[in-house]
A and B are shown apart, each in its own frame.
Chain A
Amino acid sequence: MAKLHENTATELLRMLSAGETTPVEVMATYLERIGKLEPKIHALTFVNKDAALKEAERAAKELKGAKGKKKPLLGMPIVVKECISTTGIQTTCCSKILQGYIPPYDATVVTRLKQAGAIIIAKSNMDEFAMGSSTERSCYGPTMNPWDVNRVPGGSSGGSGAAIAAREAPLALGSDTGGSIRCPAAYCGVAGIKSTYGRVSRYGLVAYANSLEQIGPITITARDSAMLLEVIAGKDIADSTSVDVPVDKYSQGIASLEGLKVGIPKEFFGEGLKADVKASVEKAVDKMKELGATTQEVSLPSIKYALPTYYLIAMCEASSNLARFDGLRYGLRVDVPKGNYDAMFSKTRQEGFGPEVRRRIILGTYALSAGYYDMFYVKALKARTIIQDDFKKALAKVDVLVGPTMPTTAFEIGTKVDDPLTMYLEDILTVPINLAGVPSLSVPVGADKAGMPIGMQVMGNFFKEQQVLGVGMALEDVLQFHKKLPPLAGA
């Protein structure tokens, strides 16, 4: 029989319902694993140990009394990224500027998790304010990839990705502005979905680039992601950009891949794509064909402009969103002797923000300033329209698009962190999706020669999460990557 932590979240839930395990046993198992594995991978920033155990005891009682209908995630531990507000638990975006900040309210996704019976076991590490693709830029220090601790887990939700890969928890939440869920999912060999913009409430997500980002699941399988998305998705009165479209039964997936039209965007297989990544993705596409799907090449000609378009929009939005960190209302405050408000404001932000955050705020300020606004910001918004049109045209011909999530596999810690542009290039295949606003799932499809995981993106039309996840489920049923654990997490 499989050890408890070797199960998917879906299987664990079944076991809980069937009385084959208890919420207390589940929580104790994962807390013990956290104690053992954290010194090696540093995925977490705060472990909610005592409160989580108490909650598990309460869930155990509730589960015993529940007949028939029970809460969908009752007794399930979940890891929540540091940028998602949790009442009474630190939410720092892994920045010095938010040290000591304890939110007085829950993000809507957290409220929904609690109503569903899930228990926050820990908060997870990230690049400061989600600005990065490696989780090296955290004020708490980097997270290590469980498959090779000399390598990055991807980012910015690298803590959530590593925690799931190492089975420190069965479920996690990340957020994805330009790939921050899909990149760590790919690098850590787990599943993660950025849903359609507006599908999940952003209320309580500390804003970085609000027109691009979505909170979403990072889990062992696509099926687990589907189950978690069902809980957190839906219109929220507190987020005016959330959309009032019914939440489908994502976990039911799709009946089969028979007749599914799959588009292969040729631009995803261009220069810079590692041979092992290409081979694994092509093998997965062959599997889809065996399962009855048909494929055709499609083109997204404008996505070569996606990186500059994305970074311009993200930096402009960041410069505005991060203006709230003024040293007055929360977090760090650095007073200047005899200094006025501006002096305190400016000094606090020098000491509170890391270099990348300051770079992005300053560049965003530049692109929004008089004389450059039309040249950079408005131009980028127009480029966004063109890129979105490319996706709309392609998705009018086919049901889903597939391609590699990342052009390479996880790189070694310290090799890219000092060169901002090189790090931006990591995001070349993930940012177009955020610009378009469509959903994209990353599922593991193999590993390179060194054993590092490879992820494939399944992209679909607006609000077609069920189809995208259904394709992921069909693939994982044949590929079975989730049965393989990183060596350090195995025993």
Chain B
Amino acid sequence: MSKKIDENTVAHLAELARITLSDKERKEFAKQLSSILEFFSQISELDTENVKPTYHVVELKNVFREDESREGLSQEAALRNAPQKEKGYFKSPKIVED
């Protein structure tokens, strides 16, 4: 189960997680993450055959309520914290390349 995380793996994960890392950080993280992962690997000893995963500790049943509209945030309030906005929208850099 133990798996070393090298710099290339860190770079790939950082890309998936949308976090830019410096070369130095990639090296440092590879070392730190490998030792943390090694520590985590002890759970592989645990026999989990026929054990159900716990997604929620208190068993909940589906709850229905009337489909009534309630007041939400105004557009102005929702946009108030946006670093950049235009015409009532959040403003993003280009998403699709030309």
Contacts and interface: CB of A to CB of B under 8 A. Distances in A.
Interface of A: 100-102, 104-105, 196-198, 211, 237, 240-241, 243, 302, 305, 307-309, 311-312, 319, 323, 326-333, 335-336, 339-347, 349-350, 353, 355, 358-359, 361-363, 365-366, 369, 372, 375-376, 378-386, 388, 420-421, 424, 435-437, 462
Contact of B42 (A197, A308, A362): A308
Contacts of B32: 359, 420
Contacts of A102: 80-81
Given A329-B82, A375-B1, A385 B13 contact: no
Interface residues on B, range: 35 or more
5 contacts: A342-B18, A350-B20, A366-B13, A380-B43, A386-B46
Contacts of A350: 19-21
Interface string B32-55: 110111011111111010011111
B43 A104 contact: no
B48 A379 contact: yes
Given A105-B73, A331-B81, 16 more contacts: A101-B81, A104-B73, A243-B60, A305-B42, A307-B39, A327-B83, A328-B90, A343-B93, A344-B92, A349-B20, A350-B19, A363-B33, A379-B44, A383-B46, A386-B51, A424-B36
| Most-contacted residue by chain A among B25, B40, B45, B82 (CB, 10 A) | B40
Interface in B79-94: 80-84, 90-94
A308 B41 CA distance: 8
Report, nearest first, the 6 A-B pairs whose CB atoms are least far apart. Answer: A437-B57, A381-B53, A333-B83, A330-B81, A382-B48, A104-B77
Nearest to A382: B48
Contacts of A376: 40
Contacts of A386: 46, 48, 51
Interface of B: 1, 3, 5, 9-10, 13-21, 25, 29, 32-33, 35-37, 39-46, 48, 51-58, 60, 63, 65, 73, 77-78, 80-84, 90-95, 97
A369 B9 CA distance: 12
A385 B18 contact: no
Contacts of B48: 379, 382-383, 386
Contacts of B18: 323, 326, 342, 345-346, 349
A333 B94 contact: no
A195 B62 CA distance: 23
Nearest to B33: A363
A381 B54 contact: yes
A385 B9 CA distance: 31
A305 B43 contact: yes
B82 A302 contact: no
Contacts of B90: 328-329
Contact of A211 (B9, B21, B39, B57): B57
A195 B82 CA distance: 35
A435 B92 CA distance: 39
A366 B56 contact: no
B44 to A, nearest CB: 7
A420 B19 contact: no
Contact of A319 (B17, B39, B55, B63): B17
A344 B93 contact: yes
